[in-house]
Copies of this chain bind each other. A is one copy, B any other.
Amino acid sequence: MGNDLNDRSRTILEAIVDDYISSGDPVGSRAMTRRHNMDISPATVRNVMADLEEMGYLASPHTSAGRIPTDKGYRYYVDSLLQLRELTSREKQRIEDHCNVEKKSVESLLQETGKALSSLSSYAGIVMAPRFTSTVFRHIEFVRLSGGKVLVVFVSQSGLVQNKLIELDEDLSQRELEKITNYLNNALSGMTIQEVKEKVAAEMKQEKALYDELMQRALNLSDKALAEDVEERVYIEGASSFLELPDFADVGKMKKLFLAFEQKSRLVDLLDKSQEASGVQIFIGSANSYNEIEGCSLITSSYRNVHGTIGTLGVIGPNRMKYSKVIPIVDYTARLISRLMETGLGKEK
């Protein structure tokens, strides 16, 4: 499949998608032939359109309007018709300027990147930090607060920081906490959190742990500390750009979209999916069964350091997104962030 269309059909489909992307109005046969200086008559175009509609690439909102692309139409356009251009060095520079603003922290780098993606694409930028369980352990710290509460601070190898409050069963002095801290920092260095969890679980079962009080406490504590994985991992920036799109003039749709942005959880699922694949991925319309973001397409790419994929970023926009413009932006940004995380932060010396 993919190339089951003849040349003329392909040309016409491309023209329709192009026109619809830039105007947002259903495109009709005559206006189209004129705009593209085609040397075939509107009637011919109409025949072809009827075929394309039959095949599921186009749809007509109502009898006497023009045609609009279906999800399948967009998909074909993106996969087989679209030719990407390189970014100019000026554009590359703009991306770098946006992201390279003095790195205050990894979190703010990711957030800035989201803003950059939004600003450059004029849609919404989305950046997902690594899933916690798959980050690599770098440092753990326990700080006693009042009321038997202890604040646990983790630092991952890529420089992400997470913190969590836990409650102690038994009162430990700051001194004891420090011992435990040292023990854990030595024992766990370089493992992923997932591995750490497994190791902790395994050792807790072992006999010898029962006799080493310090170790027992350490295990107990880290077990609690790692128990749940409940962080804010997604930054969405520039959602307000959707407000201008006529595609979402319906308040109901818009509301659904913004609620999805606020909840994020479903988006995390979607982005997790794309985490494994390499290169730019494109989710079109509700092809993805996430009807919260109906009418939206998502262009993502993962970023990585020497240890592998560490996160995903991309742009979320309407189905009729300027793919040819956005895809190179996402691609380049992902590479840039990979580079930044590599040289600046992520790599262990």
- Which residues of chain A from 215 to 244 have any CB-CB distance to chain B below 8 Å in the complex? 228, 230, 232, 237-240, 243-244
Among the listed stretches A76-84, A138-146, A267-275, A310-318, which one makes contact with chain B, having 4 or more residues with CB under 8 Å of it? A138-146
- Which residues of chain A from 252 to 311 have any CB-CB distance to chain B below 8 Å in the complex? 254-255, 258-259, 261-262
Q: In the bound complex, what is the Cα–Cα distance between A155 and B165 (angstroms)?
A: 12
Contact status of A239 and B262, CB under 8 A, knowing A159-B165, A161-B153, A230-B104 = yes
Judging by beta carbons under 8 Å apart, are A240 and B258 in contact? yes
Asked whether any CB of chain B lies closer than 8 Å to the CB of A346, the reply is: yes
Judging by beta carbons under 8 Å apart, are B141 and A153 in contact? yes
Please name the residue on chain B nearest to A178 by beta carbon: B182
Interface string of A103-128 (1 = CB under 8 A from B): 11111100100000000000000000
Asked whether any CB of chain B lies closer than 8 Å to the CB of A93, the reply is: no
State which of B149, B238, B254 has its C-beta within 8 Å of the C-beta of A243: B254
Q: Across the interface, which residues of B come within 8 angstroms of A146, CB to CB?
A: 344-349
Judging by beta carbons under 8 Å apart, are B145 and A345 in contact? yes
Asked whether any CB of chain B lies closer than 8 Å to the CB of A164, the reply is: yes
Asked whether any CB of chain B lies closer than 8 Å to the CB of A40, the reply is: no
Judging by beta carbons under 8 Å apart, are A345 and B240 in contact? no
